[in-house]
Amino acid sequence: MLNLRAGNVLMIGWGRTVSAVIEAGLPPMPGVLVVPSTGGMQQHAQHFQSNEFSRRAAEVSGGVPHFIHAPYLPDPEVLDLFLADSSVQTSVGLWNRIDAAVVGIGQPYGLERPSAMPPSQVDLDLEDAAGDVVRHYFTADGHILDWRGEGRMIAVSARQLRATRLVIGLAIGDAKIPSILGAARAKLVTALVTDTRTAESLLDALARPV
């Protein structure tokens, strides 16, 4: 599925499932430019470390890693300062020519929040979010929600994701069914990697009358 050549751009998301896919082995992609999907997060867990995902994906595939040495959600008054940095500009600029992306599909906000979002980042406007892709939260019918970080994250934009030919979403489990459907309807993913049980549940959900 990832038929990339030297000079092509592969964007890597973050999350436990993305980590598992990388460690299971990516195809050889010598010379492919590997860029993270966001700046860094204030989280200690390994599956939130976006630059490490880029480094590791490049390591196992033979690609060339790029890093974003800036927070994914900086204070508004310093956002432009981070974006003015030449190294950040180089990596962020690759989002305009992504050839393929591998991203996790987050579960509904109410299920995600206790482990993934510190209290200071809780946003009540997202209580009804069906899920997210790279912190772009969406409703079950695919509408992107305008939460406090939308539009000021150092992250690939929804527009850039929609312009990418191949965005592989990774998601497993019945709790992710509304998230998968919402991500597809929002046009943030173009392909899905999951397990048999989740695929069967997804087909059942699609077969039910609206």
Domains of the chain: which residue ranges?
9-207
pTM of the model: 0.90
Q: Is 209 exposed, middle or buried (CB count within 10 Å of its CB: 0-12, 13-18, 19+)?
A: exposed
Low-confidence spans in the chain with pLDDT less than 70: 1, 43-45, 47, 112-124, 210
CATH number of 9-207: 3.40.50.1360
The 10s digit of each residue's pLDDT in 95-136 is 999 999 999 999 998 776 544 445 445 465 788 899 999 999
What is the pLDDT at residue 42?
72
